[in-house]
């Protein structure tokens, strides 16, 4: 029989991002590198993560693979490479992958996220202590009987 429910493929429901994104709208200046004329344009920062960011702009001719410098007004610059472009009417959203190896502009390497949340590392020993205590009580009860 035919189903009237919308069909959703598995590829549409799988999250492809490696890192959690944080919405952070801000005005940025984008400088294209190695183009000969060092073109600059204004854009809006959409979101950021440890490994990349997304910007919204009007430049449909921004090619995938283009290396850019993103100038944040209060925090400095990020060197990145255009990974994808998505155009909706006159507006283009570009996904950029950060190329800098060191921490930059308020978001560092992925490992720093784990250091910020100590409960993740403490969760393993927290459940082991009661389990070990239960095993010791069971062994003690067994040996006394």
**pLDDT tens per residue, range 17-50:** 566 778 878 889 999 987 666 688 999 999 888 8
Strand partners, 98: 80
Q: Annotate 103-116 with b (16+ C-beta within 10 A) or e (fewer).
A: ebbebeeeeeeeee
The reported pLDDT for the residue numbered 16 is: 55
**pLDDT tens per residue, range 64-105:** 999 999 988 767 888 999 999 999 899 999 999 988 655 554
The reported pLDDT for the residue numbered 52 is: 87
| Residues whose CB is less than 8 angstroms from the CB of residue 5 and which lie 6 or more positions away in sequence, other chains included | none
Q: What share of the chain is helix, strand, coil (3-state, %, to 5)?
A: 25, 40, 35
The reported pLDDT for the residue numbered 78 is: 86
The reported pLDDT for the residue numbered 23 is: 83
Highest mean pLDDT among 21-25, 118-122, 139-143: 139-143
């Amino acid at each position: 029989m035919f189903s009237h429910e919308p069909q959703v493929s598995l590829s549409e429901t799988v999250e492809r991002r490696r890192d959690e994104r944080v919405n952070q709208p801000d005005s940025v200046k984008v400088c294209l590198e190695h183009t000969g004329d060092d073109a600059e344009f204004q854009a809006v920062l959409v979101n950021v993560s440890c490994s990349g960011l997304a910007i919204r702009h009007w430049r449909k001719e921004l090619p995938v693979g283009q290396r850019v410098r993103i100038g944040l007004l209060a925090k400095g610059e990020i060197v990145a490479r255009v990974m994808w472009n998505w155009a909706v009417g006159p507006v283009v959203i570009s996904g950029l992958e950060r190329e800098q190896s060191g921490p930059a502009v308020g978001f560092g390497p992925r490992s720093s996220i784990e250091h910020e949340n100590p409960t993740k590392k403490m969760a393993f020993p927290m459940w082991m202590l009661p389990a070990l205590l239960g095993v010791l009580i069971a062994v003690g009860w067994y040996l006394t009987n």
